[in-house]
Amino acid sequence: MSDFVTIFASRSPIEADVVRGLLEANGVMPIVSTGLPRSVFPFTVSDLGEVRLSVHPDEAEEARRIIEGHRTELQTGQVIRLRDEFEGLQRAIDYRFRDRGLLEHAMTHTSRANEDVSGGVVDNESLEFLGDAVLGFVIADMLFRDFPAYNEGQKSKVKASLVSTTTLGRQAERLSLGDHLLLGRGEEKTGGRRKLALLADGYEALIAAIYLDGGIEQARAFIAREFGAQLADVKESGLSGQDFKSALQEHLQASDRPLPEYKLTGTMGPDHRKQFQVAVLVNGEQLAESVGPSKKEAEQEAARLALERLRPGQTP
């Protein structure tokens, strides 16, 4: 390596991979090296290290010309990243990262990390774990402050509904988060960008990234923006105390339709965080499907979604 010249360095393994592909497409074959620090933790917040691309001195000038030809210069003369795939997401979440590497980390699915031969790409599972805790804490705090008349059981029901896989997946869909996920080829081919469980995981990782980048107040502000309307609906309608399975059964009986049937269609995730996927059917027709940490919660959410379909525009 001593005879080679470093022509590109980035803290973003994804960006370095883009540049490597660009050079190889133009006949320049770079050598990839990494300065990622060793750590007992699965990721490093303050220093994600550098990925360096080096070429033979005879190819250095041509490599730099190729790279510069694909950069974008602002009026100030500042050179921005070759690919800023997260600009739209930052606008959607109304938060701009100081360390964009954290956002990239949050959007990196394990399938993408597993396909990276350099070992420099880390998946978002640890961020997902942290985001789940941050979200749970902030939602519990908001319920404690805004719903003083609710008992523990009522607060727990509201919290379970708000942090369910289905709800988080829908929130992620609203932000078009799936468009920004970094997936492996296999996950891409099987429709990973549309899978609710995968979207929910990315959403939790996003919350963790905001927390690590801006602190708890920025994370709280984001969660308040995201869930404010739903909490307002709860306050207005008393949603927390409703048994959606009973409500669905009553609605169907009033319409002289058969009783609903709940079917477990799949499970996912590790044993300590297993998710259950449940469909609700009426006379063989599937009305809705949901995912939850227990079959009971998944059935309740599926019933709620079925009621929304049967009574559009009405609050169940």
Residue 175 to residue 143: CA distance in whole angstroms: 24
3-class secondary structure, 293: coil
Which secondary structure element, helix H or strand E, spans residue 5, and what is its range? Answer: strand 5-10
Q: Of 311, 242, 253, which is closest to residue 282 (Cα–Cα)?
A: 253
Residue 167 to residue 294: CA distance in whole angstroms: 15
User: Which residues participate in catalysis according to the annotation?
Assistant: 132, 204
3-class secondary structure, 128: helix
Give the chain's largest Cα–Cα span: 82
Q: Of 274, 262, 265, 272, which is closest to residue 300 (Cα–Cα)?
A: 262
Residue with tokens 């080096």: 54
Give the phi and the psi of residue 27 in degrees, each rounded to 5.
85, 10
Residue 196 to residue 279: CA distance in whole angstroms: 14
Residue 36 to residue 101: CA distance in whole angstroms: 13
Give the phi and the psi of residue 283 in degrees, each rounded to 5.
55, 40
Alpha helix ranges (H) inside the chain: 13-25, 57-68, 87-93, 100-106, 110-114, 125-146, 152-162, 165-174, 185-189, 196-214, 216-237, 244-254, 295-310
Tokens of 158: 């509201």
Residue 17 to residue 82: CA distance in whole angstroms: 11
The CB-side HSE value for 24 (13 A sphere, CA atoms) comes to 11
Residue 88 to residue 95: CA distance in whole angstroms: 11
